[in-house]
Amino acid sequence: MTCITDNQFGFRFISSYQGVFSYEATIPNGRSGGECVRLMCRVERQPYIQPATISEADWELQVNGKLGMVTCYPPELLTNEFVAAFNQWLFAEWQRDVSQIAKFPEIYGPYEGGCFQILVGGKFEVEKGWTPIQSKADVAKLAGLPFGSVGVM
């Protein structure tokens, strides 16, 4: 679903594969249409599988170290306001999906709920691996999300 949050940023789901979700974001840049950027979010760990071109330790650092982060190039685009707006949009999409599933237990079975995962911006540093740009608490506060309450982590 495409969504514009606070008339500034636009987001659209593109695809998901092996624990990575891809989105397209539109960032205003003074021109008609704005700038389109691809966002990548790792939402689940991936097991190390041979043959791999990197060691298991590097796999953890480079692949699973990105868990819970939204990334793009260049990472300077991941401002606090942008990441907060993205989380607002994701939360609204999550609430819509949960509501739809809960309405139809005969189709989906009983739904006991789950948690919305707040994502922080991430950047890669060769010596450290993936490092967060913001804290979850700061993103949640800026986005107006109930961090630490039931269903949001």
First to last CA, the chain: 23
Does 95 fall in a domain?
yes
Does 16 fall in a domain?
yes
Q: How many domains does the chain have?
A: 1
pLDDT (tens digit per residue) in 30-75: 766 788 999 999 999 999 988 889 999 999 999 999 999 999 999 9
Give the residue numbers spanning the domain of 109: 2-143
Does 151 fall in a domain?
no
Does 152 fall in a domain?
no
Where residue 4 falls among pLDDT bands split at 50, 70, 90?
A: very low
pLDDT at residue 16, as a whole number? 96
CB 8 within 8 A of CB 14: no
Q: Give me the percent of the chain exceeding a pLDDT of 70.
A: 90
Where residue 7 falls among pLDDT bands split at 50, 70, 90?
A: low
Does 118 fall in a domain?
yes
pLDDT (tens digit per residue) in 101-142: 999 999 998 887 788 999 999 999 988 999 999 999 999 999
Does 148 fall in a domain?
no
Backbone torsions φ then ψ of 88, nearest 5 degrees = -60, -45
Task: Please list, in sequence order, all residues whose beta carbon lies within 8 angstroms of the beta carbon of residue 111, skipping any fewer than 6 positions away.
Answer: 98, 101, 102, 105
